[in-house]
């Protein structure tokens, strides 16, 4: 699975989680600053580079995030619909389409981070960056999300497989969606109850012993890359002031 940590020996695996988070933040900032065809073409090349460094397959990632793909496609289609001829406006659908593609690129880069970063390292990065109890709370939430999402994803996959085995794929689309959503929510609530019980049974600590983080040479290069992305994102505003 792509949307969970997978041990490996790629360059991204060896990076400090703080530098990887900085690259992610810089990529998001640049993608929002340059939501144009030429800008997103450049961001596509950068996203492909990030995936290559993380040794993450873009096709496998798209299969993992298939749930959001219909929404990304539907948004520009609905925005472009008109009540009179020509019944579809390319100009109206242009920006929603670019925004949807921007979101897809951000998801690809985020998947590369998740695949190459253990949940404990992500928690340590957040708690080292944000001091005090707020940092502990944020770090705990990040670690829980990274551990819980793959479980829910596997549950949804099993629900769909069970539905197909019972000829559920021959039902109407709205019935299939309602069945998967209801069963998925019930499974998520039961999982969360079991998760809460497991935390109490293991005497969950607000301040556990976290892994030590240390920036290496590759991390400084990643931070420089992130700084370049932030600089590129801020340049349009700076140039207007100058």
**Element at 97 (helix H, strand E):** helix 90-116
pLDDT of residue 2: 57
- Other Cβ atoms within 10 Å of 18 Cβ, number: 21
Q: Answer for the pair 148, 169: CB distance below 8 angstroms, yes or no.
A: no
| Intervals of the chain under pLDDT 70 | 1-3, 133, 135-137, 140, 142-143, 146-147, 199-200, 202-209, 241-242
pLDDT tens-digit map of 30-61: 999 998 999 999 999 999 999 999 998 888 88
pTM for the model stands at 0.73
Name the residue ranges covered by the structural domains of the chain.
1-118+211-242, 132-209
Distances (CA, A) of 124 to 108, 109, 144, 188: 23, 20, 13, 26
């Amino acid at each position: 699975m792509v949307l969970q940590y997978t041990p490996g020996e790629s360059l991204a695996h060896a990076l400090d989680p703080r530098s990887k988070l900085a690259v992610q933040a810089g990529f998001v900032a640049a993608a929002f600053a340059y939501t144009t065809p030429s800008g997103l073409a450049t961001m596509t090349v950068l996203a492909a580079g990030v995936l290559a460094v993380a040794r993450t397959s873009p096709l496998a990632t798209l299969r993992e995030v298939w749930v959001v793909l219909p929404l990304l496609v539907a948004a520009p289609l609905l925005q472009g619909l008109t009540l009179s001829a020509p019944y579809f406006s390319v100009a109206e659908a242009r920006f929603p389409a670019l925004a949807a593609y921007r979101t897809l690129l951000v998801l690809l880069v985020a998947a590369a981070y998740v695949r190459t970063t253990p949940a404990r390292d992500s928690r340590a990065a957040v708690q080292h960056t944000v001091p005090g109890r707020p940092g502990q709370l944020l770090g705990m939430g990040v670690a829980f999300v990274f551990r819980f999402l793959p479980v829910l994803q596997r549950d949804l996959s099993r629900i769909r497989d069970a539905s197909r085995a019972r000829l559920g794929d021959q039902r109407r689309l709205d019935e299939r969606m309602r069945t998967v959503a209801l069963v998925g929510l019930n499974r998520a609530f039961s999982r969360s109850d079991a998760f809460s019980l497991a935390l109490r049974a293991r005497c969950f600590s607000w301040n556990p012993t976290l892994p030590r983080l240390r920036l290496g040479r590759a991390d400084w290069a990643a931070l420089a890359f992130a700084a370049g992305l932030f600089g590129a994102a801020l340049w349009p505003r700076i140039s207007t002031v100058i």
